[in-house]
Amino acid sequence: MATEDFGKEIKEKGLQLKNFLKDVRAVMEEWKFSVEETKEGTRVEIHAIALVRQGKNAKT
C-alpha cells in the first residue's frame, strides 16, 4: 500500500469514528484527528472525548 493511500484510508476511518459518535448522539467535548507524512513514516494523532448520555438524560 502506498503511503498516500494509507493516509487517505486512515482519514476515512477517523471520519467514520466521528460519525459513529454523532449517530449515538454523543456530545463531542473534544476532537482532534490529524495525519502527517514525515520522512520516518505516517504520524497519526487521535484524541477524542465524547459524552454518551443514556436513559432519561439522553438527547432526543
pLDDT digits (tens, 9 = 90+) for 2-40: 556 888 898 899 899 999 988 998 999 999 999 888 899
Quick check: 59 pLDDT over 90?
no
Write down the pTM of the prediction.
0.65
pLDDT given for residue 40 in this prediction: 92
Residues 6+ apart with CB under 8 A from 42: 3, 6, 7, 10, 35, 36
Quick check: 57 pLDDT over 70?
no
Distance, C-alpha 28 to centroid of its chain: 11
Euclidean distance between CA atoms 48 and 13, whole angstroms: 14
pLDDT given for residue 1 in this prediction: 46
